[in-house]
Amino acid sequence: MKQPPLLIHPHWSWQLTLLIIATHGLALVVMLMIPLDVYRWPLLALIGGSGVHAVMAQVLRRTPSSIQSALWQTDGSWLLTLRSGAQLVAQLSPATFFSLRLIVLNFRIGRWQRAALPLFSDALDAEQLRRLRVRLRINSANDNF
């Protein structure tokens, strides 16, 4: 059954921001507690860099490969618009996760490329979030991933 297109255009999410800060902050604390004299600072720099990249790519959506919007088309495929302006045709992966507070859209782009779009409940307006959850539930029940 064909369904109308659904445009997902996420905005700032405090929940995602706090999750990234908390996970990377805890990783930094753990690294400070482990006695790794020689490797401590390079590892701390890698964790810090990972946190900065996660915030830039997923929260602020400022990297060229950041997903700015995702259009669920009537044929079941997705059209992802990146910050760079590129548009990619993608398929929703069975690894997609959805619950009341969090949706993680995992996409397959071609044979090897993958992309993820994490969406906490504060990243979309309530009606758009409800419509997305309903469509995901219908498609997972029908195994249309």
pLDDT in tens, 43-76: 999 999 999 999 999 999 999 999 999 999 999 9
pLDDT in tens, 65-124: 999 999 999 999 999 999 999 999 999 999 999 999 999 999 999 999 999 999 999 999
Residue position matching structure tokens 């969090």: 102
134 and 97 inside one domain: yes
Residue 69 to residues 43, 74, 78, 91, Cα–Cα distance (Å): 33, 16, 10, 15
Tell whether 98 is covered by a domain: yes
125 and 72 inside one domain: yes
pLDDT at 34: 86
User: How many separate domains does the chain show?
Assistant: 2
83 and 117 inside one domain: yes
Query: Is residue 143 predicted with pLDDT exceeding 70?
Result: no
pTM of the model: 0.88
78 and 130 inside one domain: yes
pLDDT at 41: 87
Tell whether 1 is covered by a domain: no
83 and 118 inside one domain: yes
Query: Is residue 1 predicted with pLDDT exceeding 80?
Result: no
Residue type, 61: R
Q: Which of 90, 64, 63 is nearest to 8 (CA)?
A: 90
78 and 118 inside one domain: yes
Domain coverage including residue 42:
15-59
